[in-house]
Each structure stands twice: as C-alpha cells, then as structure tokens.
Chains A and B, each alone.
Chain A
Amino acid sequence: MMQSQGTETEAQVAAIIEELKGLEGPLLPILHGVQEEFGYVPTEALPVIAEALNLSKAEVHGVVTFYHDYRIQPAGRHVLKLCQAEACQSMGSDAIAAQVKAALAVDFHQTAADGSVTLEPVYCLGLCACAPAAMLDGEVIGRLDADTVAEITAEVRT
C-alpha cells in the first residue's frame, strides 16, 4: 500500500516536472508546483526532481530548505500569516500576535493539534499603510484589532 502511494506521488511529481522543465531555471517553479499539488514538498519528490534536472538530491534538498515558503510536512487546513515587520510593529503587531497565539493555542511555526491552522510570521505583506496586517489562506486583512482577531479565530475553527 505504501509502495503504491509512493509511486502515485512520484507520477504526479513527474507530471509537474514534465510541464515545467522547459523553463529556464525550472527548479523553483517545479517546487512551487509540487507544493501547490500536495500542500508541501514530499521527501519522495526530491529524487524524482533531482534525476529529471540532472542535479544531486543534496542540491535539491539544499534549495528546498533555503526558502521559507517550502514546507517539508503538510500545513493545517488554514494558514495564517501575521506580519511582524517594523511598520506592523509600530501599530502593535506584537500584542495582536500574542492574542492570536492565545486564542488558537499555537505558537509561530506550529500547527494546531486539531490540524485546523498553521500560524506563521511573515516579514512584510506590503500593507504597511494599513498595519497591522495578516494573510489568511492568501486573502489579505489590514488594520487588525480585537474584532478581526475574533473573526479570524472563528473562521479557522470551522
């Protein structure tokens, strides 16, 4: 059973590679494609990518681990990114982060025990004139306050 799943993963990865390998410098687009498909970059994808691009597995691993975006395990059903950069700090992002962490019972870089949400810090969403800002599953939210924090926590729990 495990074997057949691995094969299926490999086949899906191979299809993504096939579509993108004609690009100049295709590794990042391929990794983005794999993460979009699986929600993370599965370990068994690395040798398939390495083989196709004539790289060593170590080189691909090096790239995956260099970038903050690539996950090596699945995230929660929702991903909440809280901006912690200076403009948001000036508007109280520290306090907002503390409220969110308490409400969701998770710290940064953690996924809630029920798998509902992964909480991550982000350093700038370009929403610096409407700080503090956040991104929930790709949707942007500005001027976070106690009310928006309550709305966000309610949404991720559903």
Chain B
Amino acid sequence: MSPVIYIPGDSGALALGAEKVAKAIAAELGARGIEATIVRNGSRGLYWLEPMVEVATDAGRVAYGPVKPSDVTSLFDAGLISGGQHRLSLGNPEQIPFLAKQTRLTFARCGITDPLSLDDYEAHGGLAGLRKAVAMAPADIVQTVTDSGLRGRGGAGFPTGIKWKTVHDTVAERKYIVCNADEGDSATFADRMIMEGDPFVLIEGMAIAGIATGATKGFVYIRSEYPHAIRAMEAAVRVARRAGVLGPAVLGSPNAFDIEIRAGAGAYVCGEETSLLNSLEGKRGVVRAKPPLPAIQGLFGKPTVINNVISLASVPIILDKGGEFYRDFGMGRSRGTIPIQIAGNVKHGGLFEAGFGLSLGEIVDEIGGGTATGRPVKAVQVGGPLGAYFPRDLFDTPFDYEAFAAKDGLIGHAGITVFDDTADMLKQARFAMEFCAIESCGKCTPCRIGSTRGVETLDKIAAGIEPEKNRALVTDLCNTMKFGSLCALGGFTPYPVMSAINHFPDDFAPQAKLEAAE
C-alpha cells in the first residue's frame, strides 16, 4: 500500500495556504519518484497549526504544522513519508493536549477521514445510526432523540425530539427536513467544518430525521459565503445517492429520502428559521410570525423539521449509541457535547468539542491560551453578534444554556470571540446596533428603526452629548427591542449592547476620558 498524506481541504486551512502546500508536496513526490496518495481531509480544528499535514504510518498518524510551501523540501529530507522528525513535528495529533482533552462525538471523524469517501465514512463508524433507524418504528427514533436530551445547537436550545414529535404527529401528504446551514454568527465555524470535513454525517442525520417524521425531502440551506461547503455537500449528496443512502429506498428500506443543496444570498436574517423558509420558497427573507409553528406549517405550508447543522449531525451517534449514552455527557439541562468555537484574538483558536459544563475561564485561558497579541483579555463575546460581552469577573460561568441565561447572556451557536484590552466597548455596542440595522428584514419596527436610533444615540454618547441621559435612552430602547421584536435579531441585539454598558461603564464615559486627556 502506498503511503497516505493528509492535507486539509478545509477552507480555514486553505485560507492559511493549504493549497500551495498540497501543490508543493505533489511536486516533491513527483521529483523524488515517490508514490503516495494525497487525501484532502477536513480540519481537526487546531487552526494555529494549520495547514497541518499528516502522514499515516504503521505507528498511527503523525502530524506536522503549521506547514509553509517552503518547508516541504526539508520535510521530505527529514523522512516525512515515514513520520520522521522535523522542527514542525507534532507527533501523534490525537496526543496534542487541545485534541486529547476533547470529547469528539459529533466531530469524531472530522479531520481524520476523506470527506467524500463513503467507505472511509463507514470504516469509522458512519451509517451505523441510519442502519439502526431503518429497522426502528419512527416513534421510537423520535423517542431516542428526545431521551438524548439534544437541544437545538443553532442557539435557541429547543429540544430536538419535541420538534420532531410535532412533525411526526402532524398528518400531511408531504413533509420536509430543512437544515439551517446559514451560519452567519461571527466566531462560529462548526457547521462549515462539518460540512467540509464530514458531510456524510449531516446527510445521515437528515435521513434519520426524514424516516422519524415521515418526511421524504430535505433541503440544506447553506450561506453563499461558504462556497467550499456548498461544493462539498453537493458532491457528498451525489455520492450518497449513487450508494443508495439517499433516494427512493434508503439503504434498501421502504423509506424514500432525498436532499437538495440550496445557496443563500447574503442575508444574515435568513439564519432565523421562518425567514429561511421564506427564502427557500423564493421570497424576501422576511420573518414570519409564529404561530403557526414550522413543525405544523413550515416550508410551502407543510410540516417541517428545521434544525441546525450540528443538531442534525449529532443524531447519527445518538441512534448508534443510544439516547442514554449521549445524555450522560453534559450538565443540568444541557446534555451531550457542544462544539465550542474559540476565535478572534486568541492564541489557540479552533474547535473544541466537549460536554457542557466547562467554565468560560477554562475555555479562554487554559484551552485558548489567552490572547494572540499577548495582552490581557478584556472581554469575550459569547454566541455571535447577538451574544453578550462577558468580562473576566464572569469567567466562572459554566458553559450551559441556563447558566448563561442567568448571567444575561446566551451560548448561541457556541462561538467565542476574545478581545484584548485595546477593545473599545462603546464601539462594539455601536457595531451591534449597526449590524442589526444592516441586516434587519424590516418587518418589525423595534428592530428596523430601533437599531438606527441606537447607532445615533451611541454616537451621541461617544461625542459626549448628554451621556447620562442618552445611556438611559439606549437602555430604554434596548428594552423595547428585546420585548417588542418579532425575532432574535432585534430581540437579542440588546445583549451585546447592554452587557457592554453594564460590564464596561468606563468605556461609555468619554467625557471623563476627554477631560483626563486634557
């Protein structure tokens, strides 16, 4: 068997030069007359080490990184093919503390397998969940998912099993499974990584959802900012169809299920489920009032399961190992694992899947290793542009839906952006309002107009115009947006704004700063 070299095709690795590294390695193999197979795997999620090149040896995988094209010749001189020592040697990647400390359930294969090889997928435990599902009664599949305690990983945290049960119990001639892959929150890239690195796990999860609820058609709505993920999913769907994983007889069973990949068009608000459904129908991505729930009247008015990528990608292992197995991870009412995405100004940025319950401080300081700039951490925003800014005082907060809600925050899609002490929290609060104004769908007044008034009022505070009065005004405005908006865009924009005001009051007192400067 010829040696196998793994060079990630993940877009994060590509952004750091993986394509040039792959070309250099191919050229070097040719020049030296070495026969080897190059596999473009997903990323393991250790982005400070990307592009991370791995070689399969008799003693297991050996990793090198971060590799630059100019390192390639010396890597071959050092015996790359047999895992030889080099200054970029990382040894067995699974022993790197960042990976060794994780509990990889959803991301079990990501970065290990060839994303488009169904054989590789099966050899690493893939399709075991779907094989069990085709032999089960639909209601039992729903019960297993309910028992697992899985909650919506897109951010809302709604129990997945309950959603599925509603669709299962609603009688209709056509039902849909819609996968929300409109991962627009800054600091989040888990959906992108799994779609690029292990697309079959999402396909398998959607097929299980289809069998459980009686839906025969699935859509994956992927944001247009993710062209690599779109290509990977399209290719994987074609492979799955050819192999009979999708189609009129899923794995030879009487269940029909097929998937279509759809690209978004650059509207952040389409990550909101009802807006996404309108977009899929070919309409403006305007939010719908609920009720009716999408589970009863969703896509084209039909009962629809709409779940985030990670929720659906967590289903295969739940079916394979059982609801109890998954439920045994986590804390409180947050069961199972969560892929935490550590981003921004951080030394060890990447994806860290673990059971719920790590403290924010452990994640930022120990796992993330503090800031990339080496300066003190000032704030971390948890949950994307609609998530709260947390100061160091709150770093003992455990990563859990309820614990974050209790501190006026949210875990959202589990993205964490780290800021060093140069961050200006008034500027960040203003950006939250500005982003809401740019992305508002325009349907409800608090979001559409409130966000623009919010920018103006924060500008007044920055200019030192009646700061106290204007801080009170922003607080009042945030209250109106929080309780008066139709969806989370207007409703949650107050989280970053108010947390910045409450936890970093000094940044909102520019008058004092000006005087001090004079």
Which A residues form the contact surface with B (CB < 8 A)?
23-29, 31-32, 53, 62-63, 66-70, 85-91, 122-131, 133, 135, 138-143
Q: Mark B189-202, 1 if CB is under 8 A from A, else 0.
A: 10110000000000
A66 touches B284 (CB 8 A): yes
Distance in angstroms between the alpha carbons of A72 and B342 in the assembled complex:
37
Contact B15 A127 (CB under 8 A): yes
Distance between A73 CB and nearest chain B CB, rounded to angstroms: 16
Please encode chain B, from 255 to 287, with 1 for each CB lying within 8 Å of some chain A CB and 0 for all others. Answer: 000001011111110000000000111111110
Residues of chain B lying within 8 A (CB to CB) of residue A67: 264-267, 285
Binding site for A on B (CB under 8 A): 11-12, 14-16, 47-48, 50, 183-189, 191-192, 217, 224-228, 260, 262-268, 279-286, 300, 341-346, 349-351, 372, 381, 384-385, 415, 417-420, 423, 428, 431, 435, 438-439, 441
Across-interface contacts of A53 in B (CB, < 8 A) = 282
Q: In the assembled complex, which residues on chain A have CB atoms less than 8 Å from the CB atom of B14?
A: 139-140
Which listed residue (A63, A70, A85, A89) contacts B283, Cβ 8 A? A63
A-B contact count (CB 8 A): 153
Q: Is the CB of A25 within 8 A of B300?
A: yes
Cβ–Cβ contact B225 & A126, under 8 A: yes
A130, B385: Cβ atoms closer than 8 Å: no
Report yes or no: A123 in contact with B439, Cβ–Cβ below 8 A. yes
A sample of 25 inter-chain contacts (CB < 8 A) reads A26-B282, A28-B263, A28-B279, A53-B282, A68-B265, A68-B267, A69-B224, A69-B264, A85-B186, A86-B384, A89-B428, A90-B345, A91-B345, A123-B186, A123-B268, A124-B225, A127-B189, A128-B415, A129-B12, A129-B48, A129-B346, A129-B350, A140-B14, A142-B12, A143-B16
How far does the alpha carbon of A142 sit from the alpha carbon of B381 in the complex, in Å? 21
Known: A26-B282, A67-B267, A68-B265. A126 touches B227 (CB 8 A): no
3 nearest A-B pairs in the assembled complex, by CB-CB distance: A27-B282, A129-B349, A142-B15
Closest Cβ neighbor of A139 among chain B residues: B14
Bound Cα distance from A32 to B279, whole angstroms: 13
A87: chain B residues within 8 A (beta carbon): 186-187, 343-344, 415, 417
Min Cβ gap A120→B in Å is: 9
- Decide: A140 near B11, CB < 8 A? Known: A66-B285, A86-B187, A90-B345: yes
From the candidates A70, A90, A135, name the one contacting B420 in the complex (CB within 8 A).
A90
Q: A28-B265, A124-B184 are in contact. Are A91 and B279 (CB under 8 A)?
A: no
Scoring B225, B342, B415 by chain A CB atoms within 10 A of each residue's CB, the highest score goes to B225
Q: How far is the CA of A29 from the CA of B48 in the complex (A)?
A: 37
Question: With contacts A69-B265, A124-B186, A128-B344 known, what are 20 further pairs, Cβ within 8 A?
Answer: A25-B300, A31-B265, A63-B284, A66-B286, A67-B264, A69-B264, A85-B385, A86-B187, A87-B186, A90-B417, A91-B345, A126-B225, A128-B415, A128-B417, A129-B48, A129-B189, A129-B341, A131-B345, A140-B12, A140-B14
Residues of B with C-beta under 8 A to A23: 260
Bound together, the chains give a CA A126 to CA B217 distance in angstroms of 27
* Cα separation A91 to B420 with both chains bound (whole Å): 9
CB-nearest residue of chain B to A134? B15
Contacts of B419 in A (CB 8 A): 90
Cβ–Cβ < 8 Å partners of A129 in chain B: 12, 47-48, 189, 341-343, 346, 349-351
Measured CB to CB, the nearest residue on chain B to A68 is B266
User: A128–B11 contact, CB under 8 A?
Assistant: no
| A86 lies within 8 A of B266 (CB) | no
Q: Are A128 and B186 in contact (CB under 8 A)?
A: yes
The one of B372, B417, B435 in contact with A123, judged by C-beta atoms closer than 8 angstroms, is B435
- Closest A-chain residue to B184, C-beta based? A124
CB <8 Å contact, B418 and A28: no
Q: Across the two chains, which residue of chain A brings its CB closest to B189? A: A126
Q: How far is the CA of A70 from the CA of B464 in the complex (A)?
A: 39
Report the Cα distance A125→B193, complex, angstroms: 12
The CA of A8 and the CA of B281, in the complex, are separated in Å by 28
Smallest CB separation, A93 vs chain B (Å):
10
- Are A128 and B267 in contact, CB atoms less than 8 angstroms apart? no
CB distance from B11 to the nearest CB of A (A): 5
Task: Give Cα distance in the complex from A23 to B217, angstroms.
Answer: 12
Complex: chain A residue closest to B423, CB-CB: A90
Q: Chain B's nearest CB lies how many Å from the CB of A148?
A: 10
Residues of A within 8 Å of B341, CB to CB, are 128-129
Set A66, A86, A141: member contacting B267, Cβ < 8 A: A66
Bound-state Cα–Cα, A123 to B267, Å = 10
* A residues less than 8 Å from B431 (CB atoms): 86, 89
Do residues B15 and A90 form an inter-chain contact, with CB atoms below 8 A?
no
The residue of chain B having its C-beta at the shortest distance from the C-beta of A94 within the complex is B427
Minimum Cβ distance to chain B for residue A135 (Å): 8
Q: Which residues of B contact A25 (CB under 8 A)?
A: 280-282, 300
B343 CB to nearest A CB, Å: 4
Chain A residue at minimum C-beta to C-beta distance from B267: A67
Provide the residues of chain B in CB contact with A88, threshold 8 Å.
186
Closest to B221 in A: A28
Q: What distance in Å separates the Cβ of B438 from its nearest Cβ neighbour in chain A? A: 8
Docked Cα-Cα span, A142 to B267, in Å, equals 23
B286 — which chain A residues lie within 8 A by C-beta?
A: 66
List, in ascending order, chain B residues with CB within 8 A of A127's CB.
11-12, 15, 189
Alpha-carbon distance between A143 and B381 when the two chains are bound, in angstroms? 20
Chain A positions within 8 Å of B381 at CB level: 86
Complex Cα spacing A69 to B222, Å? 14
Which has the most chain B C-beta neighbours within 10 Å: A23, A24, A68? A24
Enumerate chain A residues within 8 angstroms of B345, measured Cβ to Cβ.
90-91, 131
When distances are taken between beta carbons in the complex, the residues of chain B under 8 Å from A130 are 12, 15-16, 47, 50, 349
In whole angstroms, what is the CA distance A124 to B14 when docked?
16
- Smallest Cβ-Cβ distance to B373: which chain A residue: A91
State how many angstroms separate the Cβ of B379 from the closest Cβ of chain A.
Answer: 9
CB-based contact A128/B265 at 8 Å:
no
